[in-house]
Amino acid sequence: MRYLRHLIAAWGLLNSGSNQARAHPLAAARSEALAPVLNVDFPDPSILQDSDGKWYAFATNGNGKQVQAASAPAPQGPWTLLDTDVMPDPGPWTTGKNTWAPDVRKIADGRYVLFYSGESTAGTPGQHCVGTATSGFVLGPYTASSQPLSCPLDQGGAIDPAGYFDEATGTRWVVYKIDGNNKGNGGDCNNGVAPIHSTPIMLQQMSADDWVTPVGSATQILDRTDADGPLVEAPSLARAPDGTYVLLYSSHCYSSAEYDVKYATSASIAGPYERGAAPLIGTGDLGGLASPGGATSAPGADRLVFHANCPAGRCMFYSGLSASKDKVLLST
């Protein structure tokens, strides 16, 4: 996802037009406005429950930190923004700034892995690659690997990684986006002018031992269509109670009123994935959200966090989730 630019002004424009936004029947039934659970700029949130029962959330750089963190006794909150930089040094292959979309996962031996989008020192200025970092503590500090996990700069780079542990098979994975719109020709999120570049969602199996070593090559499991506007991004995987794999992702440009959260389902982790008939969350839903996106599901596909525009920037919101082969619904 793109870094925050003029977002407070954009929030006002989006809210003023929210009564004309698309209707999303799965989320629009709520009459009162859904309030943020963390009312600060906290984009691209991910969540993790640690072994002590406490919940932690991590977010894109902001508030003076490269990787932000917050904690809560329950996923619904109350959330507290922590005065700690989880990963102050994102690694020698990065510029040391503009670290996006962190996702933390715990390995069985008690260590933690942080996946993130680091701004590369190679390629065109501003291009990102997917990196990994490890720590013995959930809040770090995390030590970044010396090389990125995925760095296809000739295709635009890679962003928005999210780890996934498949309990059914004991395998570990990462999903991420190839940032094709970074190579675009201008327009909406730099990819609104033909020829339009693909922005595929990739699935990479990882070592079951360390979650930082790739196993084989990455596989494409989704790509943008005309209905997605310039891109798809922000993938997150979970497995529903009936065994269905649920892929959450966002489409359209983060700075537009069309930015949303969509989903696709599959009987196999590698796909094929069938897209949902309608977006899960869009502008105007849940009492008037503006540009919701960047959703991450907790294991079990029973709850999620996401960001939406707010006066502070992009605040974190929470919702329950009900997922199966036949339907994916919010349960706020």
Main-chain phi, psi angles of 174, to 5 degrees: -135, 135
**Catalytic status, residue 44:** yes
CA-CA distance, 70 to 60, in Å (whole number)?
A: 12
Please tell me which residue in 41, 44, 119, 228 is annotated as part of the active site.
44
Please tell me which residue in 119, 228, 233, 260 is annotated as part of the active site.
233
**Dihedral of the alpha carbons of 217, 222, 223, 226, in degrees to the nearest 10:** 170
Please give the radius of gyration of the chain, using alpha carbons only, rounded to the nearest integer: 18
Rounded to 5°, angle at Cα 189 from 89 and 151: 40
Q: Which residues of the chain form beta strands (DSSP E)? A: 46-49, 55-59, 68-72, 80-81, 100-106, 112-119, 128-135, 143-144, 158-166, 171-178, 201-206, 219-222, 232-239, 245-251, 260-266, 274-275, 293-297, 303-310, 313-323, 328-330
**Catalytic status, residue 167:** no
CA-CA distance, 43 to 31, in Å (whole number)?
A: 25
Rounded to 5°, angle at Cα 198 from 290 and 105: 65
Which ranges in the chain belong to alpha helices (H)? 7-16
Token code pair at residue 318: 């929470």
For residue 303, give the DSSP letter.
Answer: E
Positive or negative: CA dihedral 115, 119, 123, 124? positive
CA-CA distance, 225 to 16, in Å (whole number)?
A: 28
Catalytic residues: 44, 233
